[in-house]
Structure 1
Amino acid sequence: MLVTIVSLWAQKLFRLDEPQPFGGAELQLTLLAKALVKRFGVEVQFITRGQGPFEIFEVDGIRVYKLAYRDFPPARTILGSWDLLRLLLSLKTDIYVQRGGGIETGIVGMASRMKNKPFLFMTSHSWDVDGTHEKNRGWIYGTLYMTGLRRAAGIVTQIQNQHDLLWHNYGRESLVLPSAHEIPAPIPIKKEGVMWVSRCETWKCPHVFLRLAEALPDLRFTMVCPQANSRELFLEISQKAAALNNVTFLPGIPFEETEPLFATHRLFINTSEKEGYPNTFVQAFKWGTPVVSLHVDPDAILSTRELGVCANGDETALRNAVKQMYCDEGWWKKYSENARSYANATHNVQVIVEKFYSLLQSLKK
């Protein structure tokens, strides 16, 4: 089987010198691609975008096609879309895979139709199923996204809530497939500090984490915050973090280097206004690190599974939950063990990749 995966922001996962940040969607596709190659011998070609000219190279048995990144946004939209479509039409494939709604969803859908090959779309955010793309992102963005969604032969959602919204809003069925991760065997006994990992985006609310650190000066905080779309926001956040003695600010590190942080920190904080199912939640769970979240609680797992606490948008409740869980050893240990067990049962890549491979086989023409 020859699988073509489109993930334009994944270049940094293959080349560490790439300045453009990646997110959870890119990480998931990379992990699944590697597992498909290793476990089932699937031939995978992976399309990314990055600095410098067009390039073809191989990493871990995956053939990577890197499109040139265009700095001027209109050129990136128009010419970048043409670059992608032209490459897709030039490559042989049995099936296309793309994750996270966007203009590229429509481009992959077009290639799927023109080459008469199936397209598997995978959601990465609640925006992909709640009407945000077609209502709030402009006519071109919304039209191309809907084109791709209609062309998809199969759809994967992250959680039951996304499955239900997709059916309600678009009349499409989907397979709920949790995010996949390698589950570590031993975990450190001693864990200290409070951590936050995310791109420096307004909707991820990095200011809230810094206010939390300022309010709890006796605790140590680590903030991994690579620059995203706004240089101004990144400078503002980095300067505010530098002014706090109890905050260690890391402006972006490779994915592999975030793993020891999750392994050794006592709590993970999420301050985003809205998410799908953050990969950072899975990273925290698999290392036995409870999550304290301001807004996000996918399928209410934090509360119903006792994996952490959701503050329901209340910063005071967020602060109180962090203090209590950090200091109450019995409570923390219970939630830590729950998180670890849940990750092993739900997110083990060896289990997820089998289901993913079976789905690809069923869609292949």
Structure 2
Amino acid sequence: MKNPHICFVAPYLDNYFDSQARDSAGGAERQQYLLAKNLAEDGYEVSAITYKHENSKIDIKEDVKLYKILPEYSSKLDIPFLISNLAFYMWKIDADLFYTRGNTDLCIATSYCCDFLNKKFIYSLADDTNASKSTDKFINKIYENIYSNSLNISNNIISQTNNQKELLKINYNIESTTIPNMYPIPNRKRIRSHEERDYFLWVGDISREQKQPWYFLDLAEKLPKVEFIMVGPGNGDPLYTKTKQRAQEIPNLEFEGFVEPDEIGRYYNKAIGLVNTSKYEGFPNTFLESWSYATPVISLTFDIDEILSTENIGYKAGDLQNLKEIAEDLYINPDKRKRIGWNGRKFLKENYSFEKIYPKYKSILTP
């Protein structure tokens, strides 16, 4: 029996295949890249629809056919235009199943196209907002009704956490399959001793208000004798520029900006702990990256199904003062950060390793 053709509708996925453009690819693209690459290696026909490029319309990278044809759009009012363009290209590509992640506009457009073309559609939530409802104006209620209909069209919906699964059930009365993110685990021989760790690390998109990067700067100012490093894309954005300017005035903080995904491991490997300051998340790849190097996670407010609070693999601080006290404690206690860090790596291996998670995705994407 021939393996099915799977097409990812993912605007920025091609950037992850291009080392020169990865600054505009984030955690969602990382997960889709892992899926697409490994499905192709397993003999499946894999393609992706990404944003239009001036230089080329079709490219093949790592056995994944990239159709760079998706028109860019600026508002929800452009969705009908998006649907009309997408339907034509989806008909031409003729995949057996289409998959998109996070972007609710694309969920709507892709689901309606799949319904019209009689194709299977899988939607994966990217963060809690994809399962939440707005309390805003009337126009948002209309949009939510359309979005709700697109969720019902889906053959399957993937939630990343139990919290997302519950939110989706409460807000839309729709069931989903919980599959967390996955991450490859480096050889333990590469893990640096905790006595030799140098700084606290922050990794994320510095241009996004959701990430609240200013709290990391506040923390660095409160602990002037401790080193801090900030890593993330966003160059050109006002928040990125403001954050960089302020960071450069803090003597114990090094602002790195964008770092290639293939290079990020060395930052985790030298870190005392990873600091997360986000208001909300979906399932942060940074947690997995940190645990893969036996580095504790310290989160200001976000937790994945309360595992930081219950599994002894990190901390949920709750406020900036508590965040400061936790960081101080880990800074002076290498044995404690070693114990918590290795607990995190063990938990990652048992619950979020590629070997554990990829077969779950594969069973849904390749029935």
Q: Distance in 1 between matches of 2:139 and 2:202?
A: 28
Q: Which residue of 2 aligns with 1:44?
A: 46
Cα deviation 1:107-152 (Å, max 9, x = unaligned): 1101211111111111110111122499798467535533321211
Q: Which residue of 2 aligns with 1:254?
A: 260
Consecutive unaligned residues in structure 1, runs of 5 or more: none
Question: 329, 353, 361: which is aligned to 1:348?
Answer: 353
Taking every aligned residue pair, what percent have the same amino acid on both sides?
A: 28
Q: Which residue of 2 aligns with 1:185?
A: 187
Q: Which residue of 1 aligns with 2:241?
A: 235
Please say if residues 53 and 68 of structure 1, whose CA atoms lie closer than 8 Å, have aligned partners that are also in contact. Answer: no
Counting only pairs closer than 5 Å after superposition, residues 104-123 of structure 1 correspond to structure 2 as: 104-123=106-125
Q: CA deviation at 1:222?
A: 1.1
Bigger shift: 46-55 or 192-201?
46-55
Q: Which residue of 1 aligns with 2:214?
A: 207
Please say if residues 102 and 141 of structure 1, whose CA atoms lie closer than 8 Å, have aligned partners that are also in contact. Answer: no
Bigger shift: 233-242 or 129-138?
129-138
Cα deviation 1:44-73 (Å, max 9, x = unaligned): 101222653552111111111123664866
Q: Which residue of 2 aligns with 1:89?
A: 91
Q: Secondary structure at the match of 1:285?
A: helix
Q: Amino acid of the residue matched to residue 223 of structure 1?
A: M
Q: Distance in 2 between matches of 1:322 and 1:105?
A: 40
Q: Which residue of 1 aligns with 2:327?
A: 322
Bigger shift: 79-88 or 100-109?
79-88
Q: CA deviation at 1:341?
A: 0.2
Cα deviation 1:274-333 (Å, max 9, x = unaligned): 112111111111111111111101100111011111112x11011111111222122111
Q: Which residue of 1 aligns with 2:30?
A: 27
Question: 352, 356, 365: which is aligned to 1:360?
Answer: 365
**Cα distance change of structure 1 residues 315 and 180 upon mapping to structure 2, 3 Å threshold:** same
Question: 158, 173, 176: which is aligned to 1:174?
Answer: 176
1:276 aligned to 2:282?
A: yes
Q: Amino acid of the residue matched to residue 188 of structure 1?
A: R
Q: CA deviation at 1:251?
A: 2.3
Q: Secondary structure at the match of 1:339?
A: helix
Q: CA deviation at 1:360?
A: 2.1
Q: Secondary structure at the match of 1:47?
A: strand
1:224 aligned to 2:231?
A: yes
Q: Which residue of 1 aligns with 2:297?
A: 291
Q: Distance in 1 between matches of 2:135 and 2:87?
A: 21
Please say if residues 47 and 65 of structure 1, whose CA atoms lie closer than 8 Å, have aligned partners that are also in contact. Answer: yes
Q: Distance in 1 between matches of 2:142 and 2:270?
A: 45
Consecutive unaligned residues in structure 2, runs of 5 or more: none
Q: Distance in 1 between matches of 2:139 and 2:54?
A: 28
Please say if residues 300 and 316 of structure 2, whose CA atoms lie closer than 8 Å, have aligned partners that are also in contact. Answer: yes
Number of equivalent positions = 359
Q: Distance in 2 between matches of 1:340 and 1:136?
A: 46
Q: Secondary structure at the match of 1:104?
A: helix
Q: Distance in 2 between matches of 1:361 and 1:71?
A: 31
Q: Distance in 2 between matches of 1:307 and 1:221?
A: 21
Q: Secondary structure at the match of 1:299?
A: coil
Please say if residues 79 and 109 of structure 2, whose CA atoms lie closer than 8 Å, have aligned partners that are also in contact. Answer: no
Q: Which residue of 2 aligns with 1:160?
A: 162
Bigger shift: 209-218 or 60-69?
60-69
Q: CA deviation at 1:347?
A: 1.2
Q: Which residue of 2 aligns with 1:9?
A: 12
**Cα distance change of structure 1 residues 227 and 76 upon mapping to structure 2, 3 Å threshold:** farther
- TM-score normalised by the chain length of structure 1: 0.91
Bigger shift: 83-92 or 190-199?
83-92
- TM-score normalised by the chain length of structure 2: 0.90
Q: CA deviation at 1:219?
A: 1.5
Q: CA deviation at 1:83?
A: 3.5
Q: Amino acid of the residue matched to residue 232 of structure 2?
A: C
Q: Distance in 2 between matches of 1:253 and 1:136?
A: 41
